[in-house]
């Protein structure tokens, strides 16, 4: 058996010696204040063992990582109908890119870019009775942790500077791909991005994608076929215009967020989350990508 704790510690030590050239996201003012050198990893094996180093139990804004959880809920609610409104192709473009949306008549390339996640948010608004409460309950259920909360401060900070997301939502509305009011859909979207979680909670939440649709408590939330599809979308679209690079360097389905988190998984084997707030030019955690590259290289555990 591999000595996972020693491997995480080796990675931590090696990254302490690496210059962190990334920058903390500043376009959401509340995120700009996070210290750049925070760093944590949490690994959870499918058999239940946990290993961690650094700031793995410090909460941060999960941002776009939440797009996988909202996708899972929408897929659970409406099944394959979802794909009439959002495609499953990598965009090869930044997360907030707009021009493809216009070229492709208001059908977002995939659910993990902003426009796609805004359509998914619209689906949830149409199908959940109390959307924000019900979605938070879903995340808490998956994670088996009732302490998870939205940060109202971060949601508001993003709303005030969310011009790009307003543009995307307005375009979607103009193309008839948004059924609810722009303001209501974005209020939900900004809140889902503003969920606060730590690395440990993220590995617990994503356990369902490594465990054929069954959460930590062995409750089935998704079919194994749905999980296969969500994992494939993470692999091809989880890192925007760096999805190829992540597959090449790390070789796992995963998702990043501009809060500096990354969560990745090997089906039937483990989930792993990293947090390092400084981002590279493509909006993915600079140190998190390197940590995961080292992890799959040292353990030889990847889908390839
Ligand atoms: N809430 C962020 C936004 O919409 C999410 C972006 C991200 O994490 N890549 O801009």
Best residue among 25, 26, 27, 28 to mutate for probing ligand 1's pocket (most ligand atoms within 8 Å of CB) is 28
Residues of the chain with pLDDT under 50: none
Residue 287 counted as domain residue: yes
Question: 114, 96 in Cβ contact below 8 A?
Answer: yes
Closest by Cα among 291, 277, 283 to 35: 277
What's the domain range around 246? 4-299
**Nearest atom in ligand 1 to 63's CA:** 8
Residue 67 counted as domain residue: yes
Number of domains within the chain:
1
CATH number at residue 204: 3.40.710.10
Both ends of the chain: CA-CA distance in Å? 20
274/256 Cα distance (integer angstroms)? 9
Separation of CA 128 and ligand 1 centre (Å): 23
Q: What is the pLDDT of residue 125?
A: 98
Helix intervals (H) in the chain? 4-16, 66-78, 99-103, 114-127, 131-143, 152-160, 163-174, 182-193, 199-205, 207-210, 224-237, 243-249, 286-299
Residue 111 gets which letter from DSSP? T
Q: What is the pLDDT of residue 94?
A: 83
Separation of CA 114 and ligand 1 centre (Å): 7
Predicted TM-score (pTM) of the model is 0.97
Closest by Cα among 103, 43, 105 to 295: 43
Residue 97 counted as domain residue: yes
**66-123 pLDDT per residue, tens:** 999 999 999 999 999 999 999 999 988 888 888 889 889 999 999 999 999 999 999 9
30/258 Cα distance (integer angstroms)? 12
Residue 70 counted as domain residue: yes
Residue 259 counted as domain residue: yes
24/280 Cα distance (integer angstroms)? 9
Question: 271, 210 in Cβ contact below 8 A?
Answer: yes
Sheet containing strand 50-54, edge to edge, reads 50-54, 40-45, 270-275, 261-266, 254-256
**Nearest atom in ligand 1 to 117's CA:** 4
Separation of CA 147 and ligand 1 centre (Å): 23
**29-48 pLDDT per residue, tens:** 999 999 999 999 999 999 99
221/139 Cα distance (integer angstroms)? 11
Residue 304 counted as domain residue: no
Q: What is the pLDDT of residue 1?
A: 85
Best residue among 26, 32, 62, 63 to mutate for probing ligand 1's pocket (most ligand atoms within 8 Å of CB) is 63
């Amino acid at each position: 058996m591999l000595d996972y704790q020693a491997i995480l510690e080796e990675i931590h030590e090696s990254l302490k010696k690496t210059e962190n050239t990334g920058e903390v996201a500043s376009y959401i003012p509340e995120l700009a204040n996070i210290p750049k050198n925070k760093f944590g990893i949490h690994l959870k094996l499918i058999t239940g063992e946990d290993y961690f180093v650094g700031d793995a139990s410090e909460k941060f804004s999960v941002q776009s990582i939440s797009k996988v959880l909202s996708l899972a809920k929408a897929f659970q609610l409406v099944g394959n109908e979802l794909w009439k409104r959002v495609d499953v192709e990598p965009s090869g473009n930044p997360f907030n890119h707009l021009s493809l949306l216009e070229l492709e008549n208001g059908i977002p390339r995939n659910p993990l870019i902003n426009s796609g996640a805004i359509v998914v948010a619209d689906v949830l608004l149409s199908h959940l009775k109390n959307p924000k409460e019900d979605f938070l309950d879903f995340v808490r259920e998956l994670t088996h942790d009732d302490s998870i909360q939205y940060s109202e401060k971060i949601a508001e900070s993003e709303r005030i500077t969310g011009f790009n997301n307003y543009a995307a939502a307005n375009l979607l509305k103009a193309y008839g791909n948004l059924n609810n009011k722009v303001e209501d859909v974005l209020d939900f979207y900004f809140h889902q991005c503003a969920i606060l979680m730590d690395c440990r909670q993220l590995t617990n939440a994503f356990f369902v994608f490594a465990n054929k649709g069954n959460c930590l408590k062995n409750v089935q939330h998704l079919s194994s076929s749905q999980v296969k599809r969500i994992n494939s979308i993470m692999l091809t679209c989880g890192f925007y215009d760096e999805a190829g690079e992540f597959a090449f360097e790390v070789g796992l389905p995963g998702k990043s967020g501009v809060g500096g988190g990354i969560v990745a998984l090997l089906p039937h084997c483990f989930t792993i989350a990293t947090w390092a707030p400084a981002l590279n030019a493509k909006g993915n955690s600079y140190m998190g990508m390197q940590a995961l590259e080292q992890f799959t290289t040292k353990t030889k555990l990847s889908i390839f």
